[in-house]
Chains A and B, each alone.
Chain A
Amino acid sequence: MSAIAERVKQIIVEKLGVEESEVTPEANFQNDLGADSLDTVELIMEFEKEFNLSIPDDQAENIGTVGQAVAYLEENVK
């Protein structure tokens, strides 16, 4: 697991109160991890803060799973 993926997992565990084992690449924030739309917005903000970047809204809309978040961040974090 990449360092980015590990940090993403920790943020999700912290914010959503789920077990590490639940945070699989396929896990959908809303369908699998109990997040609502506000939780998802908050997660995106946490990723922005943690990785010091700005995720445009149209990109954020495409981040619904753990894997999508990791992929986006691995591509965009410098």
Chain B
Amino acid sequence: MSFKRVVITGMGALTPVGNDIPTFWKNLVAGVSGAAPITRFDAERFRTRFACEVKGLDINDYIPRQEARKMDPFTQYAVIAADEAMKDAGFDTDKLDLDKAGVIWGSGIGGLKTFEDEVLNFAEGGKNPRFNPFFIPKMIADSASGVISIKYGFRGPTFITVSACASATNALIDAFLYIRLGMMNVCISGGSEAAVTNAGMGGFNALKALSERNDSPETASRPYDKDRDGFVLGEGGAALILEEYEHAKARGAKIYAEMIGGGMSSDAYHITAPHPEGRGAYMVMKNTLENAGIQPEDIDYINTHGTSTPIGDPQEIKAIERFFGEHAYNMNISSTKSMTGHLLGGAGAIEAAACILAIRDQIIPPTINHFTPDPEINPRLNLTFNKAQKRKVNIALSNTFGFGGHNASVIFKKYEG
């Protein structure tokens, strides 16, 4: 059996820097930060009081109120991003084989707000065990894929991938592989997260994972800067339409890029800390390039995991230098988390979109908020500090690493007939 080719034919995004793909991309290229004081809840007593929230969103502009109230925000975000991507792909749904159409979504946590609200309600209601009947279906992480599947009538493989901050990348890899193997023609894939809640902020604060730069939220996410002090929690998501190449060609689809590889590795080291020598980061890049059948010299751009944590950033960079050798200094590297914050299980989706758009427009979105060089980061690396850079981008790699030591990466290539 020969492998099928997989192309990207639609995209949608709902992010802290834009509620659709054109705005998201315009702001990434312009170097706009999505961080601001928290509005979702009263964060006054929290060590971190800012985040990268989705802004100016009226859910009811997208989803009827009666349906929206049965969805956790992470599912609402998924539905909104998927809707943009589906419209962008322009399917004639009458002609689509719905049994060969799937939904493979990623979320690191699922319905955190729903869980929090229900348990608070239980506690405040004298522990009366009367839970809302929609509690479980709203909260469980697979509800995003279920709701999207029902909306479009997609009856092929539909499920969710959960691997913390690698979740959406794992979803893309699964979608890619199933299409490659001929098990699906079309898949709505991507990921979303909505963890800017009391429990989400409090939990990550307890881990000392978040930046506490409350006096300057917009400069808090500063990957590779000497004074970085943790990541900035983000929310939202993105959807990509993955489609079998002949299927896309036959319907005259617009093709953004080709997805040519996906790979995984695990640190097998610690539940939250990355391996100090970047063992997992090295292996995931090696595995992904092998899966794509390309050489290290073929990579033009890496969208890094780069969350702006003191420990995480250098280990990824060192793994890049070790794996790519001299070519590490020819590539562009950037962390768009400097602008979007960290969308956890949705990160891989918005960063895949950023890679695809970098290929389309031949421009690298920057790593903003670089003020002070870190002696641990080799200055020969082009980390695309502070300003977008035009360059030839034929092939781009996106890295994501999750708590639990889960690493997943994907590779996109400029589409050439």
Contacts and interface: CB of A to CB of B under 8 A. Distances in A.
A53 B391 CA distance: 68
Given A17-B65, A17-B66, A42 B130 contact: no
B269 interface: no
Contact of A38 (B65, B130, B134): B134
B380 to A, nearest CB: 59
Contact of A16 (B66, B130, B134, B137): B66
B2 interface: no
A38 B132 CA distance: 9
B417 interface: no
A40 B176 CA distance: 41
B64 interface: yes
A42 B134 contact: yes
- The winner among B64, B66, B134 for most chain A CB atoms within 10 A is B66
Interface residues of B, number: 8
B375 interface: no
B133 interface: yes
Interface residues of A, number: 7
Nearest to B131: A45
Question: What secondary structure prevails in chain A residues at the interface with B?
Answer: helix
B132 A42 contact: yes
B133 A48 contact: no
B138 to A, nearest CB: 11
A17 B134 contact: no
B133 A38 contact: yes
A44 to B, nearest CB: 9
B133 A41 contact: yes
A55 to B, nearest CB: 10
Contacts of B66: 16-17
B65 A45 contact: no
Nearest to A48: B130
A45 B130 contact: yes
Contacts of A48: 130
Interface in B170-220: none
B132 A45 contact: yes
Interface string B85-111: 000000000000000000000000000
A25 B32 CA distance: 56
A41 B137 CA distance: 14
A78 B199 CA distance: 39
Contacts of A38: 133-134, 137
Contacts of A17: 64-66
Interface of A: 16-17, 38, 41-42, 45, 48
Given A38-B134, A42-B134, 7 more contacts: A16-B66, A17-B65, A38-B133, A41-B133, A42-B132, A45-B130, A45-B132
14 contacts: A16-B66, A17-B64, A17-B65, A17-B66, A38-B134, A38-B137, A41-B133, A42-B132, A42-B133, A42-B134, A45-B130, A45-B132, A45-B133, A48-B130
